[in-house]
Amino acid sequence: MSKLTTLPNSAPFAPEHIAALDQVIGAASVVQRAWLSGFLAGLDAAEGKGEVAIPAAAQADKPKLLILYATESGNSEALAGKTKQDAAKRGFAAKVLDMADATVDQLKNAGTILAIVSTWGDGEPPQRAAPFYRALMGENAPSLEGVKFAVLALGDSSYAQFCETGRLVDERFAALGGSRAADRIELDLDYEAGAKTWLNATLELLAPKDAGSVIHVDFQKPLASASSKTAPFEAEITAQHKLTSDRADSETVHVELALAGSGLKYEPGDALAIVPENDAETVADVLRAVGLDGDAALTDALTSRYDINTLTAKQMKDYAVITGDTGLAALADDAGKRTGFMAGRQMIDLLEQFPHRLEAEKFTALLRPLAPRYYSIASSQKLVGDEAHLTIARLAYESAGRARKGVASTMVTDHRKMGGSLNVFVRPNPHFHLPKDDAAPIVMIGAGTGVAPYRGFLQEREATGAKGESWLVFGHRHFLYDFLYQLEIQEWLASGVLSQLDLASSRDQPEKRYVQHVLWEQRDRLRGQIANGATLYLCGDAKHMAHDVDKTLMRILSEGKDEKEGQVELDALITAGRYKKDVY
């Protein structure tokens, strides 16, 4: 048993303290020392001193835990940060790493990996994590023999490819030789409670036992992202007008909100979340379908708390169980038939086609929470002060023989007019901000409401007198009907705030013309801008535009070279933070 008096002179204790410590610790067993080490680390973490330098020898004794996350809107990142604190209390040397900043080689010696991964687009990884993800799936990915891992997948069960990226990461880690320490968990939009339980149990499972059994870990504190959701600001609508002509195929409105007194701050590129309410007609239809009309408390709850529109596979199965409907059970359990039924249908279709009277609690237990909707902020506080401007497209379509309306967008366009209010909070989007150097060129590519953040960028560059070139490549259907913010954009072009404007009016000529066609035509200029250090931005439609623009950029970057070079160069731009996407 070594005495503390053998410690080097550099030990940060006076001789009398070392003697006192000797009495207790000098005779301590290995287990008692490990306990103490974990206890002290836990104390530091609890007091917010998690970053205090711990002597190398003490760190080396701790098991390594790499908390690897992939995020788009910050949920995985917030969970990763919270998990790091709790892992430290459990005696881990825990490190948090964004997949966007990681290389696959960092996985080899990670010890244990706890991956927290969301899915975006249509079953795709978050955009900034895409280069890492491609490398992980590629043939040069390293062996993970000797590495333990566990995956928490975030998603939205209304998407066909629910938690796809988390699932594929989990399978890939195993295929590369890693050993799965805990079964993957797939969590829906209301992920908080499930994440807390799974992370707690997984850390418990992985923890060095002496330390883990001593420190009490809890996930009771609200996660960072939850507070703003639960306490939104009621912002008055101070202006609202249509940006599209009556002859346009769809309606888009400009909305101005007063933020005075809220303390809310944002940067151009950030989004504002609107906490929506379901419309009265849909609530009434749903209540009637389950035989609960007239229940005032339930009406309120369905209006503001529950998603009564989307229909998920789980909901179909659960509804079959609670109603004991065997016909529905047969449909819900047959994946092919179930998918066919769900296409274009919503909760109301299920309730009307399989009508049953339900108790209120049983019905609400079926439902998911009503999620906030995000809107790119179309203004700069340097120019508009305590206001936030939004550009909102009204969503209305027909499916399965019924007219449907988007919850949040039609709430704004049809019901909340000037003088009304919206409950909002800011969702920062630091990965879609302007370059720090305002002399750096920017290339803004977008279509439809994708122009919104660029209005914020141009307001900001106007307010700061930024010298960098600004090039806007903007797509819409018709120059005359839906060229959003036309007058302002032309004024910025005239004043030089905007250096170049290229429009793709897709339906003004027989051949469809989109932003990717403009980019291809202008490829020499684009390569020149990239060589001059330009940052590229892409905003708007994820399903069609984003893929086509990516493909075109790869063609442009690889022209005259091997085709694969295009992907490598595009990945290099993403990793350098010079190709930023905000697509939805």
Ligand X SMILES: Cc1cc2nc3c(=O)[nH]c(=O)nc-3n(C[C@H](O)[C@H](O)[C@H](O)COP(=O)(O)O)c2cc1C
Rule CB under 6 A: which residues touch ligand X?
A: 71-76, 118-123, 126, 154-156, 159, 161-164, 189, 542, 584
Q: What's the one-letter identity of residue 51?
A: E
Integer Cα distance of 410 and 417 in angstroms: 11
Distance CA 573, CA 575 (A): 5
* Contact string (CB under 6 A) for ligand FAD, positions 299-318, x = contact: ----------x---------
At residue 536, φ and ψ (nearest 5 deg) are -100, 140
Q: How far apart are CA 542 and CA 130, in angstroms?
A: 14
> Which listed residue (112, 376, 379, 381) binds ligand FAD by CB under 6 A?
376
Residues written for the chain:
584
Picked from ligand FAD, ligand X, none, the partner binding residue 162 (CB below 5 to 8 A depending on kind) is: ligand X
Least Å from the CB of residue 371 to ligand FAD: 8
The entry of ligand X, ligand FAD, none that residue 452 binds, CB within 5 to 8 Å by partner kind: ligand FAD
Pairing of the two strands 233-242 and 306-307: unpaired
Nearer to ligand X, 409 or 505 (CB): 409
Smallest distance from ligand X to CB 376, Å: 12
Kindly state the smallest distance separating residue 584's Cβ from ligand X, in Å: 4
What six digits make up the tokens of 426? Answer: 């800011």
452 sits near ligand FAD (criterion: CB under 6 A): yes
Q: Are 157 and 317 in contact (CB under 8 A)?
A: no
Q: Fill in the DSSP letter of residue 269.
A: T
188 binds ligand FAD, rule: CB under 6 A: no
Q: What are phi and psi of 445, to 5 degrees?
A: -115, 130
**What is the smallest separation between the CB atom of 75 and ligand X, expressed in angstroms?**
3
Residues 6+ apart with CB under 8 A from 470: 441, 442, 444, 457, 458, 461, 497, 498, 499, 500
- 3-state DSSP: the chain helix, strand, coil percent, rounded to 5? 45, 20, 35
Could you say whether residue 227 binds ligand FAD (CB under 6 A)?
no
Among 373, 416, 431, 455, which residue interacts with ligand FAD (rule: CB under 6 A)? 373
**Rounded to the nearest whole angstrom, what is the least distance from the CB of residue 155 to ligand X in the complex?**
2
Tell me how far, at minimum, the Cβ of 122 lies from ligand FAD, in Å. Answer: 11
* C-beta closer to ligand FAD: residue 449 or 516: 449
Quick one: which segment of 21-29, 88-96, 237-245, 401-409 binds ligand FAD (CB under 6 A)? 401-409
Least distance to ligand X, CB of residue 411, Å = 18
Return the closest-CA partner of residue 363 out of 434, 413, 292: 292
Within 13 Å of residue 301, how many CA atoms lie on the same side as its CB?
Answer: 16
Answer with the entry of ligand FAD, ligand X, none that 481 interacts with (C-beta below 5 to 8 A by kind). none
- For residues 376 and 392, what is the distance between their CA atoms, to the nearest angstrom? 9
Report the DSSP pairing between strands 252-258 and 368-369: unpaired
CA distance 28 to 3: 10
76 binds, among ligand FAD, ligand X, none (CB under 5 to 8 A by kind): ligand X
Give the integer Cα–Cα distance in Å for 120 and 222. Answer: 24
Closest CB 134 distance from ligand X, rounded Å: 17
Nearer to ligand X, 161 or 364 (CB): 161
Contact of residue 373 among ligand FAD, ligand X, none (CB under 5-8 Å per partner type): ligand FAD
Nearer to ligand FAD, 85 or 346 (CB): 346
Per-position DSSP letters for 447-502, written without gaps between them: EGGGGHHHHHHHHHHHHHT--S-EEEEEEES-HHHH-TTHHHHHHHHHHTSS-EEE
Give the separation between CA 203 and CA 185, rounded to whole angstroms.
Answer: 14
Residue 155 site contact among ligand X, ligand FAD, none (CB < 5 to 8 Å, cut-off depends on kind): ligand X
Closest-CA residue to 453 (of 391, 395, 526): 391
State the binding partner of 346 from ligand X, ligand FAD, none, CB within 5 to 8 A by kind. none
Nearer to ligand X, 121 or 468 (CB): 121
- Rounded to a whole number of angstroms, the minimum distance from the CB of residue 374 to ligand FAD is 4
Asked if residue 149 lies in contact with residue 155, where contact means CB atoms within 8 angstroms, the answer is no
* Contact yes or no for 443/536 (Cβ under 8 A): yes
Minimum distance, C-beta of residue 440 to ligand X, in the bound complex (Å): 27
Which of the listed partners (ligand FAD, ligand X, none) does 333 bind, with a CB threshold of 5 to 8 Å by partner kind? Answer: none
* Contact partner at residue 251 from ligand X, ligand FAD, none, CB < 5 to 8 Å by partner kind: none
Site track for ligand FAD across 343-372, x = CB under 6 A: -x----------------------------
Pick what 408 binds: ligand X, ligand FAD, none; C-beta below 5 to 8 Å, kind-dependent.
Answer: ligand FAD
Q: Which is nearer to ligand FAD, 452 or 489 (CB)?
A: 452
Q: Give the interface segment with ligand FAD, choosing from 25-33, 198-206, 334-342, 400-408 (CB under 6 A).
A: 400-408
Write down the residue that tokens 């001059």 correspond to. Answer: 532
The reply on whether position 449 binds ligand FAD by CB under 6 A is: yes
Q: Between the CA of residue 160 and those of 8, 103, 343, 378, what are the distances in Å?
A: 61, 29, 10, 31
Distance CA 301, CA 286 (A): 12
Q: Which is nearer to ligand X, 121 or 540 (CB)?
A: 121
Q: Which two tokens stand for residue 50?
A: 């998690």
The residue nearest ligand FAD at its CB is 406
Residue 374 within binding range of ligand FAD, rule CB under 6 A: yes
Instruction: Considering the complex, state which of residue 113 and residue 388 has its C-beta at the smaller distance from ligand FAD.
Output: 388
Nearest C-alpha neighbor of 582 from the set 434, 395, 362, 385: 434
Cβ at position 406, least distance to ligand FAD in Å? 2
Q: Which stretch binds ligand FAD (CB under 6 A): 51-59, 279-287, 311-319, 389-397?
A: 389-397
Strand partners, 31: none
Residue nearest to ligand X (CB): 155
The residues of the shown chain that bind ligand FAD, judged by CB under 6 A, are: 271, 276, 309, 344, 373-376, 391-393, 395, 397, 399, 406-409, 449, 452, 582, 584
